[in-house]
Amino acid sequence: MISRRAALVAGGSTAAVVAAGGTGYLVATHDKPEPLSPPSVNADGKLLWRNWSGIQTAYPSARLAPRDEGELASMLKTATAPVRPVGAGHSFTALAPTSGSLLSLDSLSGVISWEGDEALVLAGTRLGALGPALAEKGRAMANLPDINKQSLAGALATATHGTGSKLQALHGDVTGLRLVTPDGRVIDCSADSNAEVFQAARVSLGALGVISQVRLKTIPNRRIRRRVWIEPFQDALAKAEARWAQHRNFEFYAVPFTGLAVGVSHDETDDPAQARGADQDSAFLDALKGLRNLLGFSTPLRKAAARALLASAKPETAVDEGWKLLSTERPVRFNEMEFHLPADRQLKVLEEVVATLEKERPDVFFPIEVRRIASDDAWLSPFQGGARGSVAVHTHYKDDFAFLYELIEPIFRRHGGRPHWGKLHTLKDQQLAALYPRWEDFLKVRAELDPQGRMLNPYLKGLFGLV
Amino acid sequence: MREVLSAIAAILLLAACGEKPPVAPTPEQALLLKPADPRLAGLYETSCKACHAAPDTGAPQVHDRAAWDPRWKQGEAVLLDHTIQGYKAMPASGQCATCAPDDFKGLIRFMAGREDPA
């Protein structure tokens, strides 16, 4: 998340905060036990499936792992419905759970071939494996999300994105794809061929069938300089627009209850590689949790302590190939709500979210991620029709997240926010139709490709207004 | 004869007790390790390796007996349950949606440096 954050924190101070917060009575009142676990095997002998954060569960009657596109087509024709494709399980919404068939593309992984600078990639390829595979050819993806464990198909299905005012989300680089429909047909589509299927399928929640391969635009695999720094939150707000204009990739994290923000920029460079060093994210989060546990009763005290400990930390720099720096490890699991807002409202919304959290929820300690994404024209892209600014609120996986729906989502909705498809939200049917001009067109294509609704689990039926 | 066998057994037992776990592979060596079984190797490459051959993740690294031995002592059933459920930073099923329980057992044994049933 905020990579290198902990390197910004004086080590001794961090330890002191964690130690002070980690040994006293107050910790016991804040730190939650592991969430209740459903049985690993149910009464019918079916194995548990859970998403990354643990809040979505299912006991699929079948688990399918086709070895090639032909086998995928055969399986789709006969599989027990609902058929739900799954990648790394990073979605917080109930896109993947099914009592029918859970289908993994893990065996469809790797770069098939090149057409000039465009790579033909099997859709089950994990993003973390795609980076080195493209680098072998001296190429790279223009943008990457801050987690790289997802499958390419899963990332596209949910409009997964990185950050950069001139950079589109991942599906913006897709120039063609092959969709295997629930009745086993294979449709080749692009902006010039089966264009309606293409515009619907680039971001399609795994609801039209299963994407088997994707043609991706790439860029030269350049080294980039990563900078991470800490500054007052108000400075981050004042300088954000200029930084989005200045840097290839820029994002920042508002750190509630500290009055601080952490900036992260990436820019191309010819400088020699400079190691990033060991990851410190967990230590930084531990420090923030320690501050909450120790001083959560008083926001002024908590802010003063945070500023004393964190504000003077030195910036950090690393240089390496982009695929090695843009994504980072997330050793601490969490739940998350992220909405994509009209760019001109993003920072006002952020201020309102931070103020609301600091007034209502002293238990929150995770930083809030703030990114910018260029527009594209996929029908269900949250970035369709104009650039969007993203605001993402996280909670530790053991902590309550209901407040995201009660306190935070109404703020996002009041300002025209569109939800990230893989992150927590309550919107469905007509609420989504009001946000997406091509919503009805998408539903029409979906009905044509899957008239029996074999790809729809209860969550998707509700989302599409089919219940 | 019995005394001789007892002495040999005692020596072997002492040797076993004093045995140090093998030195952990370097990060570069860890990247090259994979299970001998082709199916497990495929599952490992796709799912486990992203964290268990990447020191930054905090996951116990492949064949790092010093990291794995305390976990191994908990017993296979506990490790299997933690794998299926997810445990602390470990995501459920290690993000392998098609792994069966026997696959998980094989992958745990491999990563823990316990592939040899003896």
B101 by Cβ neighbours in 10 Å (0-12 / 13-18 / 19+) ranks as middle
Q: Which residue of B has its CA nearest to A278?
A: B56
Mean pLDDT of chain A: 92
What pLDDT is stored for residue A32 in this prediction?
83
Contact A40 B89 (CB under 8 A): no
Amino acid identity of A67? R
What pLDDT is stored for residue A13 in this prediction?
37
What percent of chain B lies above the pLDDT cut of 70?
82
B residues 65-84 near A, CB within 8 Å? 80-81, 84
Band of pLDDT at residue A157, cut at 50, 70 and 90: very high
Token duo for residue A342: 């009209």
What pLDDT is stored for residue A196 in this prediction?
98
Distance from CA of B11 to the nearest CA of A (A): 43
Q: Which residue of A has its CA nearest to B48?
A: A149
pLDDT tens, position by position, A219-253: 999 999 999 999 999 999 999 999 999 999 999 99
Contact A106 B46 (CB under 8 A): yes
What are the chain B neighbours of A34 within 8 Å (beta carbons)?
A: 87
Nearest to B58 among A87, A109, A282 (CB): A282
Nearest to B98 among A54, A65, A279 (CB): A65
Residue B1: inside a domain, yes or no?
A: no
What are the chain A neighbours of B34 within 8 Å (beta carbons)?
A: none
pLDDT tens, position by position, B12-28: 454 445 567 789 999 99
pLDDT tens, position by position, A14-47: 333 433 333 333 443 467 888 888 999 999 999 9
Distance from CA of A151 to the nearest CA of B (A): 10
Break chain A into its structural domains and give their ranges: 6-29+223-419, 49-104, 111-220
Residue B69: inside a domain, yes or no?
A: yes
A182 by Cβ neighbours in 10 Å (0-12 / 13-18 / 19+) ranks as buried
Nearest to B92 among A50, A104, A279 (CB): A50
The reply to whether domains A6-29+223-419 and A111-220 share a CATH topology is: no
Which numeric CATH code is attached to A111-220? Answer: 3.30.465.10
The count of CB pairs under 8 A between chains A and B is 78
Question: Which domain, by its residues, includes B99?
Answer: 23-111
Nearest to A104 among B81, B92, B98 (CB): B98
At residue A392, what are phi and psi to the nearest 5 degrees? -125, 125
Contact A86 B97 (CB under 8 A): yes
What pLDDT is stored for residue A354 in this prediction?
98
Write b or e for each residue in A216-245: b if 16 or more Cβ atoms lie within 10 A of its Cβ, otherwise e.
Answer: bbbbebebbbbbbbbbebeebbebbbebbe
Distance from CA of B55 to the nearest CA of A (A): 8
Mean pLDDT of chain B: 86
Band of pLDDT at residue A312, cut at 50, 70 and 90: confident
Q: Could you tell me if B6 lies within 8 Å of chain A, comparing CB atoms? A: no
Q: Tell me the residues of A at the B interface, defined by beta carbons under 8 Å apart.
A: 34, 37, 40, 47-52, 54, 63-65, 86-89, 102, 104, 106-107, 109, 126, 128-129, 149, 278-279, 282, 329, 331-333
Residue B94: inside a domain, yes or no?
A: yes
Distance from CA of B45 to the nearest CA of A (A): 9
Contact A109 B97 (CB under 8 A): no
Answer yes or no: is pLDDT of B11 > 50: no
- Integer-rounded Cα Rg, in Å, for chain A is 22
Distance from CA of A109 to the nearest CA of B (A): 9
Contact B56 A86 (CB under 8 A): no
Q: Could you tell me if B89 lies within 8 Å of chain A, comparing CB atoms? A: yes
What pLDDT is stored for residue B10 in this prediction?
52
What are the chain A neighbours of B85 within 8 Å (beta carbons)?
A: 37, 40, 48, 50, 54
Band of pLDDT at residue A2, cut at 50, 70 and 90: very low
Residue B16: inside a domain, yes or no?
A: no
Answer yes or no: is pLDDT of A411 > 50: yes
Q: Looking at the 3D structure of chain B, how many domains does it have?
A: 1
Contact B46 A109 (CB under 8 A): yes
CA dist B3 → A293, B12, B54 (Å): 62, 14, 50
Query: How far apart, in whole angstroms, are the C-alpha atoms of residue B107 and residue B83?
Result: 10
CATH 3.40.462.10 fits A6-29+223-419, yes or no: yes
Token duo for residue A382: 């949250």
Which of A5, A40, A91, A101 is the mutation pick for testing B, counting most B CBs within 10 A?
A: A40
CATH for B72 = 1.10.760.10
Q: What is the ipTM of this complex?
A: 0.82
Contact B95 A52 (CB under 8 A): yes
Query: How far apart, in whole angstroms, are the C-alpha atoms of residue A54 and residue A40?
Result: 13
Distance from CA of B43 to the nearest CA of A (A): 8
Residue B10: inside a domain, yes or no?
A: no
What pLDDT is stored for residue A21 in this prediction?
38
Nearest to A49 among B46, B58, B93 (CB): B93
Pick the CATH number of A49-104 from 3.30.70, 3.40.50, 3.30.390, 3.30.43: 3.30.43
Answer yes or no: is pLDDT of B58 > 90: no
What are the chain A neighbours of B41 within 8 Å (beta carbons)?
A: none
What pLDDT is stored for residue B6 in this prediction?
54
Average pLDDT over residues B82-95: 92
What are the chain B neighbours of A63 within 8 Å (beta carbons)?
A: 97-98
Contact A126 B50 (CB under 8 A): yes
Distance from CA of A2 to the nearest CA of B (A): 14
Band of pLDDT at residue A455, cut at 50, 70 and 90: very high
The 3-state DSSP class for residue B80 equals helix
Q: What angle do CA A199, A204, A205 make, to 5 degrees?
A: 170
pLDDT tens, position by position, A324-333: 999 887 788 9
Distance from CA of A43 to the nearest CA of B (A): 16
Contact B95 A88 (CB under 8 A): yes
Look-up of token digits 């008239």: A451
Q: What angle do CA B101, B102, B105 make, to 5 degrees?
A: 90
Look-up of token digits 């902990």: A6
